[in-house]
């Protein structure tokens, strides 16, 4: 949510900032802007619209600048207007600032600053922080303070309550950027004769692989030649430079019209990467290097709590079904956004698992911190190396699926489900899961990427089906047992990118309310592989057909449902029951994608949504 890019160095800043900001557009935006140090002060370019549009304006102006800060905004305080866009410039014109996060006490600070004569031109909390820094800067400068700029940032940040990731420039000190974080991710890109800051290392792709991850409460000063990191007490902090390999093409669409479609088709290789090196030598179980818990510790665990938000919560719910089946350990699932605000009675010897693709999801992070405060062992499944959740969890599992740019999660979701299944096998083999069953499941995982390829070959079939149903405005997604969480995920995918109202339910709950919605204008999509529940689901399908409701069925090849008349069927290969949700998720993703395209929607950047939700 929102994106920050800052550059200082020997090169031309506008081009670097524009390219970097365009790479962060996937995080969500309603406006964008740049502040450039052009030798005669700070020049601001900002407006409502896409970063590409603002970038074209900047490049057309041909501003000569070697430093600048940029931002994509996703509105929190104040409407979507040019004045509310970032960067903000202080009343004195000397301080420019971009900000991710929420300043909770901004009203009190704003009232205080107004009493000193400060005039505000926006509704944002960010402009308040900008002028607070400027107010301290004027005081320190008049006192002849040795480093008025740095200490004005320290002083302001000690006063604010809330969360922030900021980058600040001072017109009196060209060639210097100060940046700080508390609850909103920031990383430094360390180059040769240049340094950068961004909310996501994607902004650095092609310029540097040397990254420094800022921790909460840290402040960094960047020049073209050097950087320093401090805590809020103005004490220097040692920096750890990490090398992160990323390929330029990972952030480009290539021959695909949208990132979402590219990422759907990347899933065979993404899942291979998730599994790589994680099977025992005899292929009877799985193994993980980052759990930081011994087998004897895991055997003492008698309950698991999974937490996540959105699609990650659906992965958590699938983990409940899968781990309870394979490891016979009770699993609870909570929305991270709810758990953090209630005093839930959680038994001793509970292992807490959080799932977050970005590793920066605000609610999930705070729920993780709450569980750590209460003394529980915590683990994470995340995709971003160096993310806050990865850093703060007691241990965890990296997904290794590469950057996911599309707002609607696809390869990250399938990887999360695969990894929780692998956790289920691992824990099951520590208990009473047999060696032969472990080998059967491992074999099924190893075969899964090739079976996904077979499903992807049905893309044209799913495109035609999506076009047939794209004009409907209501949808039901239905499944039994493990297919129920997948029904929830399918409904979410359809609603978030095509804006079709969709609901997911257990198929058996049809008669307890949802059947009232069934009509010729409300199709039902059933996820019904050939398993022990197929006869029950077949009866539910007949109930829908009897009321004139159109029916789509995702089932396995050779299933009795393949021969039913009057329904649209997508047949997928058979696999292990515990792996079927992964395989069945692929046609749901393709169906939602093609429906959104048919309706003319912006698939990669759906309205009102952001990729990474870093504020409440």
Q: Which domains does the chain carry?
A: 3-250 (3.60.20.10), 254-457 (3.40.50.10490), 459-602 (3.40.50.10490)
Span 92-121, pLDDT tens digits: 999 999 998 889 999 999 999 999 999 999
Q: Identify whether the C-beta of residue 24 lies closer than 8 Å to the C-beta of residue 198.
A: yes
Q: What integer pLDDT is reported at residue 30 of this predicted model?
A: 81
Element (H, E) at 248: none
Give the single-character DSSP code of 579.
G
Token pair in block for residue 473: 């405005």
Angle at CA of residue 370, ends 364 and 371, nearest 5°: 90
Q: Which of 342, 363, 346 has the alpha carbon at shortest distance from 354?
A: 363
Burial class (CB in 10 A: 0-12, 13-18, 19+), 60: exposed
C-alpha distances (whole Å) from 289 to each of 85, 244, 283, 397 are 44, 19, 16, 8
Q: Kindly tell me the sign of the dihedral angle through the C-alpha atoms of 586, 587, 589, 594.
A: positive
Integer Cα distance of 445 and 326 in angstroms: 14
Token pair in block for residue 424: 């289920």
Q: What integer pLDDT is reported at residue 412 of this predicted model?
A: 97
Q: Identify whether the C-beta of residue 25 lies closer than 8 Å to the C-beta of residue 45.
A: no
Integer Cα distance of 126 and 73 in angstroms: 11
Catalytic residue among 2, 170, 576, 601: 2
Q: What integer pLDDT is reported at residue 239 of this predicted model?
A: 87
Q: What integer pLDDT is reported at residue 183 of this predicted model?
A: 81
Catalytic residue among 46, 320, 411, 611: 611
Q: What integer pLDDT is reported at residue 616 of this predicted model?
A: 60
Token pair in block for residue 467: 């076009």
CA 261 from centroid of its chain's CA atoms: 17
Give the single-character DSSP code of 10.
S
Token pair in block for residue 7: 């550059």
Q: Identify whether 611 is a catalytic site residue.
A: yes
Q: Identify whether 545 is a catalytic site residue.
A: no
Kindly state the percentage of the chain with pLDDT values over 90. 65
Give the single-character DSSP code of 366.
H
Instruction: Please report the DSSP string for 520-575 in residue order.
Output: TTB-EEEE--SSTTHHHHHHHHHHHHHTT--EEEEEETT-GGGG-TTSEEEEE---
Q: What integer pLDDT is reported at residue 152 of this predicted model?
A: 95
Sheet holding 67-73, edge to edge: 42-48, 31-37, 67-73, 3-9, 194-198, 187-190, 210-213, 242-243
Integer Cα distance of 272 and 353 in angstroms: 23
Burial class (CB in 10 A: 0-12, 13-18, 19+), 78: middle
Residue ranges of the chain with pLDDT lower than 70? 1, 26-28, 77, 245-250, 610-612, 614-616
Q: What integer pLDDT is reported at residue 22 of this predicted model?
A: 85
Q: Which of 371, 304, 303 has the alpha carbon at shortest distance from 336?
A: 371
Integer Cα distance of 347 and 518 in angstroms: 42
Give SS3 for 312. Answer: helix
Token pair in block for residue 301: 């665990």
Give SS3 for 249. Answer: helix
Could you tell me how many helices (H) and strands (E) the chain has, helices first? 18, 24
Q: What integer pLDDT is reported at residue 608 of this predicted model?
A: 79
Element (H, E) at 272: helix 267-275
């Amino acid at each position: 949510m929102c994106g920050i890019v800052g550059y200082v160095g020997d090169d031309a800043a506008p081009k670097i900032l524009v390219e970097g900001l365009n790479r962060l557009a996937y995080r969500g935006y309603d406006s964008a802007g740049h502040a450039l140090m052009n030798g005669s002060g700070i020049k601001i370019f900002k407006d409502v619209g896409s970063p590409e549009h603002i970038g074209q304006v900047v490049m057309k102006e041909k501003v000569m600048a070697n430093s600048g800060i940029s931002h994509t905004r996703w509105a929190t305080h104040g409407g979507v207007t040019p004045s509310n866009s970032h960067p903000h410039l202080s009343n004195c014109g000397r301080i420019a600032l971009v900000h991710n996060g929420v300043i909770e006490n901004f009203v009190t600070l704003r009232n205080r600053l107004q009493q000193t004569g400060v005039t505000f031109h926006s509704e944002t909390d960010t402009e308040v922080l900008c002028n607070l820094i400027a107010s301290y800067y004027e005081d320190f400068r008049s006192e002849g303070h040795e480093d008025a700029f740095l200490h004005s940032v320290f002083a302001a940040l000690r006063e604010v309550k809330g969360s922030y990731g900021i980058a600040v420039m001072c017109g009196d000190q060209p060639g210097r950027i100060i940046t700080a974080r508390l609850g909103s991710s920031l990383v430094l890109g360390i180059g040769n004769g240049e340094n950068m800051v961004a909310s996501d290392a994607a902004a650095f792709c092609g310029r540097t692989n040397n990254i420094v991850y800022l921790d909460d409460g840290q402040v960094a000063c960047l020049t073209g030649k050097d950087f320093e990191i401090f805590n809020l007490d103005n004490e220097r902090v040692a920096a750890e430079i990490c090398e992160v390999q990323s390929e330029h093409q990972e952030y480009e669409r290539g021959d695909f019209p949208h990132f979402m479609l590219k990422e759907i088709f990347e899933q065979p290789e993404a899942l291979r990467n998730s599994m790589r090196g994680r099977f025992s030598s005899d292929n009877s179980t799985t193994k993980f290097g980052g759990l930081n818990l011994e087998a004897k510790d895991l055997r003492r665990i008698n309950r698991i709590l999974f937490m996540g938000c959105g699609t990650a919560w659906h992965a958590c719910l699938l983990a409940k079904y899968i781990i309870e089946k394979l490891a016979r350990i009770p699993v609870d699932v909570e929305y991270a956004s709810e758990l953090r605000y209630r005093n839930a009675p959680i038994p001793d010897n509970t292992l807490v698992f959080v799932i977050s693709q970005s590793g920066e999801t605000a609610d999930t992070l705070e729920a993780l911190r709450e569980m750590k405060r209460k003394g529980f062992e915590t683990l994470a499944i995340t995709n971003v190396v160096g993310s806050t959740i990865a850093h703060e969890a007691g241990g965890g599992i990296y997904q290794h699926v590469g950057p996911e740019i599309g707002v609607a999660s696809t390869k990250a979701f399938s990887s999360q489900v695969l990894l929780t299944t692998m956790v289920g096998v691992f824990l099951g083999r520590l208990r009473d899961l047999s060696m032969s069953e472990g080998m059967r499941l491992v074999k099924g995982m190893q075969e899964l990427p090739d079976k996904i390829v077979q499903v992807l070959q049905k893309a044209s079939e799913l495109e035609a089906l999506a076009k047939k149903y794209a004009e409907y405005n209501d949808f039901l997604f239905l499944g039994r047992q493990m297919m129920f969480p997948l029904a929830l995920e399918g409904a979410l995918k359809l609603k978030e990118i095509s804006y079709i109202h969709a609901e997911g339910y257990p198929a058996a709950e049809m008669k307890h309310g949802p059947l009232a919605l069934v009509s010729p204008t409300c199709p039902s999509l059933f996820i019904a592989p050939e398993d022990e529940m197929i006869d029950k689901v077949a009866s539910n399908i007949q109930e829908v057909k009897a009321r004139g409701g159109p029916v789509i069925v995702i089932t396995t090849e050779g299933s009795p449902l393949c021969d039913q008349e009057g329904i649209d069927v997508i047949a997928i290969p058979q696999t292990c029951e515990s792996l079927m949700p992964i395989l069945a998720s692929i046609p749901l993703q393709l169906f939602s994608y093609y429906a959104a395209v048919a309706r003319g929607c912006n698939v990669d950047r759906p309205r009102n949504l952001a990729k990474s939700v870093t504020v409440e």
